[in-house]
Amino acid sequence: NPLAVRIEDLPPELVQRERQVYEAQVAEQKKPEQIRAKIVDGMLKKFYEERVLLEQKFVKDDKRTVGELVKELSAKTGEKIAVRRFSRLKVGED
């Protein structure tokens, strides 16, 4: 479930906390510092893909993200399209 529209919209303390957790996990591995940094960056990227709407895979075509779809539609229509907010609806629960 997305928490924000864009990466920049995530609370900085949440991102920092996630980074610290990932750094602690990777610190246990016996790898060079540069490789550990890249691993942490990859883990953060996956976090963004799960928690940021524009970074998530588009439901109807998982080869592209919601952000890529918005850019494509913007180019097609010649209009600037921006997602400012979203609502999540859950069907079938009381």
- Residue-wise pLDDT for 20-54, tens only, equals 999 999 998 888 888 999 999 999 999 999 999 99
Structure tokens given for 86:
């979203």
pLDDT (0 to 100) of residue 94 = 65
**Percent of the chain at pLDDT exceeding 90:** 79
What average pLDDT does the chain have?
Answer: 93
For the chain, the structural domain boundaries read 7-77
CA-based nearest residue to 2, from 63, 94, 64, 65:
65
pLDDT (0 to 100) of residue 89 = 84
